[in-house]
Structure 1
Amino acid sequence: CRHRGINDLCLYEEVNIEKTGLIIDGAALYYSLYYTSDPKLDQRCGGDYPGFKDEVCNFFKTLQDCEVTPYIFLDGGSDPDKHKTLVYRRKDTEEKAKTIATTKPEDVVPKGCNVLPPLVKDVFIEILKEKGIEFKQCLGEADPEVVSDANQKQCPVLSIDKDFYIFDLCKGFLHLDNFEWKRKKDGKIPAKLYTRSKFCKHFKLDPALMPVFASIAGNDYSILKDNGNFANESSSSGEYSIKRLDGILRFLSKVNLHGLNDSQKRERALSQALNHVGKKENQTFKLSIQKYVQPEKPSSKLPSWVRKKVEIGKLTTSVISVVDQKSMMPPVLVEDFSQRSSYTAAYPIRQYFYKLLTKDVQALLPDLSSHRCVSVVHVSILSVWYLSVQAPEGLRRRVFEEALQVQTSALENIPDQLKLPVCVTVFWFNNLKLGQKAETVLHALLLGFVCDPNSPGWSQLLQRQTAAGLWFCVTETLSYLVCRGRV
């Protein structure tokens, strides 16, 4: 809504992007590419990863043709201060997932009803590696590093995150909605460039107050509930949300800031805004403002070698959530919400993985006497690294067998490409819950073994066999996670 309002006010400059560096918010990019593809990529049956790869490759090929050098930053663990916001968003995503799951294949899913398939980020990272595109997976939210690198490299930022209207970016912000890479001409990409200076000049607002505006207007950390006071002061003809933002900007532009430094300006503006609507001083707004003034890179308890592997995409960021926050919030799946969650299928495996990360598992390791002074968390992380990098095959096989509760010695006569699916099959049948039909699971697995997922009729087949399609998609996901140590 705010983005549309800025477009309506023409607070941008028409530009053609060529021969430049470009800092890209990776999460925003893969969300946008998946949701805006034409034809629309599947969300009902677990995801269309080949189609997604084509879209991503076409995007970066366009950048290459226009001599644009991309630098990708990906989010890591979520900010603990945003937990309530994330829980609220998850509930909203679950409602969308229910809508998608119950919409008939021949019907159109309501506009804006999108749920990202669970492995899109993993596939995106693999494509970046394959193409040799420079990227960094951050330990926390990417915003601080995006802003820092953009100003250091003197490059604009490409994202859909409205926070980049607020940050002080020396080369401005390109919104993905207006980055028309599919309309490139003569080696140039039409786009709209937003700068904070142009915004402030239009609204006669001191740039130092942009963080105050964002804090009271509403973001992931705070929102000032003003009961319509600001909207009533606006002369804008737009809808309520636009009138409210216009009213806030008008109010802030009238605050007397004479003789104050930037910090004092923000303090006075916040105090007067709170008083204006009868609210008391609140530390939440101050913390929210500070995240724009001095965006800090998140710290982590992870050892340096683990952080490095996270940054280059060799370790999943779930490691950060499990070790630092002792919590995990898996992505929402499009499934039958009247049945058990598909995540219950892999629960024992995830539990095993979490124990490796959070418990002292020296029993799995050879003598670690030289590491006795290391904390339990460090020893646990060390064990995961040892198992995945240095451990002999026998030990890795033992851990694999314990996780999947199978004996790999029984697989000698099974073709190599089927060994993992067979292990997963045994695991599932050993963990069937009351009410789950074994024949449905078997049907799903057989579909996976005998059908080509890239065949033209595959999507239609899965849509006709909803339960079987769901189980197979989870099998594929589980197999991928087990292979990569990402459960």
Structure 2
Amino acid sequence: MEVSALKKMIDDLSLCEDVMVEKTGLIIDGNALYYFLYYTSDPKLDQRCGGDYPGFKHEVCKFFKTLQDCKVNPYVILDGDTGPEKHEKVLSRLKNKLKKAKTVAETEPDVTLKEGYNVLPPLVKDVFIEILREKGIEFKVCLGEADPEVVSAANQKQCAVLSIDKDFYYFDVHKGFLNLHNFEWKKGKDGKIPAKLYTRSKFCEHFKLDPALMPVFASIAGNDYSNLEDNGAFAKESSSPGEYSIKRLDGMLGFLGKVNLDRLNDSEKRERALNEALKHVKKKANQKFKFAIERYVEPEKKIKTSSKLPPWVCKKVERGELTSFAISVVDWKKILLTPLVEDFSQRYSSYTAAYRIRQYFYGLLTEGVITEYDRDGEEIKDYRVPSILPSSDEQKKLRLQCLNEAPERLRRRVFEEALQVQTSENIPNQLKLPVCVTAFWFKKLQHHPKPETINCLHALLLWFVCEPDGPEDEFERKMKALKDEGVSNWQPRVAHAFSQWQCCMRQSLHLNQLLCSPLPEPQCARLYCGPLLHRLADEDIIKQLQKTLNGQKKEIYKNLKTILNPTTTEEGSSSEEGC
């Protein structure tokens, strides 16, 4: 993962204290943690085939087991909705993620990608929250950005913060900031984890900077809200031997340390320092810098505590029982669809497969049109998506305010209508939702039949009956061997089909959550294993594995084939599949 210039500068100057973490509370930036664990795993977790959720679960469980062994009590806080003030920055990141996804898709498997070219599989956050719940780890999903709540919780509980976000170098975290890059949890022994602790006071002391000016430094150095274009002026004034980006930061700190702050209160100090910095590089005062500065002053007052969503829905979001996308839909009527690794020779993204499901999700949340940002070819474009309300008069009475009080049969019927399916009692509970999704996805793919479609479907069905934690038999041994072999013959069309399936699955999970789970919630970590599924999507391998099935697995597989009718490719098939 990319390391900020500020971290490099702090490390080079040894402005962190070596510590052994044990017997303490710890506030964890949840989003930073799941990104970090996925990207830095060893062996490296799959990104090219759509992700490896069982492997990710194993990594996350190891991390929290280490904390438990060291008597570290974690409290995890995750991001919720991103407001319109960051829209420009988030859109820029979306374009960058599109470039990365395309690079990953078009790079040969044996070629090492340059640092920073990572793509997060679509269900990682869902899997992460599921693990937190299973392990009984205290956590909260914010209605807005997590940073203010992380700082507030850390200072209230007198704990350090664990993250990779450079913003925590600027915030006044009383007990300091532990950067995940220096948090050596895999080297933990004797109940202690080696780490480096950063404190803002030590940083300010070194640079002879008034702590009140740290927010000014943050706003001109560059963050999600502002960045001062100084055309190299500050770097030229630095005596630091570091690279340009470090010279620039050093020059800024040197300049801010010399601003006359006599007889000014903290607010006046910040205003003067900003004006002097802007004047120094011949820039006019700009509201975006003032907005960025305010973000670091008394962050506990910046916590988003309300939404246009009903209170019961907000509570579901905070407990991780409903995706925070619901806030973006209702409060801003905008959704950003993060680029995936797929077949970039196809003009439209995999998200188009789940278009109808999203329309129902939007229709239950709000009326009108939602703006989606998705790829069109190699560009990010905005699309207007009309929401859909359930069709029957009884279902139309369902409104968000009282959705949680509606009968289960009605909520299930809305789910079935969105996916154009009928649920069956003839399959295990854990498979009910995945099979509905697979029926919906397969029918979509039949409209444009491709030879790999049937193989992808059979690969999913074989994966559904797999029990890697159960008794080992010939089928399970062959499945494990296939996963361990890795994927050498990556096929864009196969990747696209599985990516479409994941988009349908993710949106169906969220629709089911919004409908208060009329279908049993499946285990997210068991939903998809990219390397294995890509190996399974081969006719010869499928036939070999089918021969090894016996007992209950064979029976379930036979039932699934009957339900999904994998030999049907005609467009005129029934509009409602029984599943």
Give the TM-score, by structure 1 length.
0.90
- Which of 360, 367, 377 is the equivalent residue of 1:359? 367
Who is 1:397 aligned against? 412
How far residue 110 of structure 1 moved from its aligned partner, in angstroms, is 2.4
Picking from 352, 365, 385, the partner of 2:404 is: 385
Of residues 17, 32, 37 in structure 1, which corresponds to 2:41?
37
Instruction: Kindly indicate whether residue 316 of structure 2 is the aligned counterpart of residue 297 of structure 1.
Output: no
Whether the 8 Å contact between 1:462 and 1:469 is mirrored in structure 2 is: no
Q: Alignment partner of 1:485: what SS?
A: helix
For residues 318 and 176 of structure 1, what CA distance do their matches in structure 2 show? 27
- Residue 53 of structure 2 corresponds to 49
For residues 106-147 of structure 1, the C-alpha deviation after alignment (integer angstroms, 9 at most, x for no partner) is 222322210111111100000000000000000011011111
1:427 aligned to 2:435? no
Report the equivalent of 1:374: none
Match of 1:276 in 2: 280
Q: Give secondary structure in 2 for the equivalent of 1:39.
A: coil
Question: Mean Cα displacement is larger for which, 118-127 or 290-299?
Answer: 290-299
Aligned to 1:342: 350
Per-residue CA deviations over 1:51-95 (Å, capped at 9, x if unaligned) read 111111111111111110000000001132111111111111111
Please point out which of 309, 316, 319 is paired with 1:309: 316
Give the AA of the match of 1:334. V
Cα distance change of structure 1 residues 364 and 222 upon mapping to structure 2, 3 Å threshold: farther
Is the CA contact 1:14–1:192 (under 8 Å) kept in the aligned structure 2? yes
Question: Which amino acid counterpart does residue 287 of structure 2 have in structure 1?
Answer: Q
In structure 2, what is the Cα distance between the partners aligned to 1:430 and 1:185? Answer: 53
Percentage of pairs with the same residue: 63
Deviations 1:378-433 (A, max 9, x none): x84225434xxx4232x23321232012345xx57778776655544553455459
CA 279–349 in structure 1, closer or farther in 2 if over 3 Å, else same: same
- Of residues 43-52 and 453-462 in structure 1, the stretch that sits farther from structure 2 once superposed is 453-462
Query: Which residue of structure 1 aligns with residue 455 of structure 2?
Result: 443
Secondary structure at 1:93 match in 2: helix
Distance 2:289 2:509 in 1: 44
Matched residue SS, 1:54: helix
2:330 corresponds to which letter in structure 1? V
- Asked if structure 1 preserves the Cα contact closer than 8 Å seen for 2:323 and 2:510, the reply is no
- Aligned pairs for 1:87-486 within 5 A: 87-295=91-299, 296-298=302-304, 299-339=306-346, 340-359=348-367, 380-382=399-401, 384-386=403-405, 390-393=406-409, 395-408=410-423, 420=433, 423-428=436-441, 430-432=443-445, 436-451=448-463, 452=466, 455-458=480-483, 460=486, 463-479=489-505, 481-485=507-511
Query: Aligned equivalents of 1:80 and 1:364: distance in 2?
Result: 36
Where does the alignment leave 5 or more consecutive residues of structure 1 unmatched? 370-378
Provide the C-alpha distance between the structure 1 equivalents of 2:427 and 2:20, rounded to a whole number of angstroms.
Answer: 56
SS of alignment partner, residue 9 of structure 2: helix
CA deviations over 1:226-249 (Å, ceiling 9, x no partner): 111111111111111111111100
1:304 deviates by 1.8
2:430 and 2:349 map into 1 onto residues whose CA distance is 28
1:16 aligns with 2:20: yes
Q: CA deviation at 1:284?
A: 1.0
| Amino acid aligned to 1:138 | C
Is 2:79 the partner of 1:75?
yes
TM superposition shift of 1:281: 1.3
Superposed CA deviations along residues 251-274 of structure 1, whole A, max 9, x for unmatched, are: 000001011110010011011111
* Structure 2 letter corresponding to 1:338: S
Q: Is the 8 A contact 1:463 1:469 kept in 2?
A: no
CA distance change for structure 1 residues 352 and 2 in 2, over 3 Å: closer, same or farther?
Answer: same
- The equivalent residue for 1:372 is none
Letter in 2 for 1:100: V
Task: Name structure 2 gaps, 5 residues minimum.
Answer: 369-388, 469-478, 514-579
Cα distance in 2 for partners of 1:484, 1:284 equals 35
Give the TM-score taking structure 2 as reference length: 0.77
- State the secondary structure of the residue aligned to 1:70: strand
Please state whether the residue corresponding to 1:301 is helix, strand or coil. coil
Give, in angstroms, the shift of residue 11 of structure 1: 0.7
What RMSD, in angstroms, separates the aligned Cα atoms of the two structures? 2.5
Provide the rounded CA distance (Å) in 1 between the counterparts of 2:92 and 2:507: 27
* 2:63 alignment counterpart: 59
- CA gap of 1:101–1:291, structure 2 versus 1, over 3 A, is same
CA distance in 1, matches of 2:435, 2:14: 59
Q: Sort the Cα spacing of 1:8 and 1:412 in 2 relative to 1 into closer, same or farther, 3 A.
A: closer
Q: Distance in 1 between matches of 2:391 and 2:402?
A: 10
For the residues of structure 2 that align with 1:186 and 1:429, how far apart are their CA atoms? 52
Give 1:70's aligned amino acid: P
In 2, Cα distance between equivalents of 1:315 and 1:196: 36
- Secondary structure of the corresponding residue to residue 293 of structure 1: coil
| Matching residue's letter, 2:357 | I
Letter in 2 for 1:77: D
Q: 2:168 and 2:332 mapped to 1: Cα distance?
A: 27
Whether the aligned pair in 2 keeps the contact of 1:118 and 1:332 (CA below 8 Å) is no
Moved more, 359-368 or 200-209: 359-368
- Cα distance in 1 between the residues matched to 2:284 and 2:155: 36
Q: Residue 13 of structure 1 aligns to a residue in which SS?
A: strand
Pairwise CA distance, 1:363: 7.4
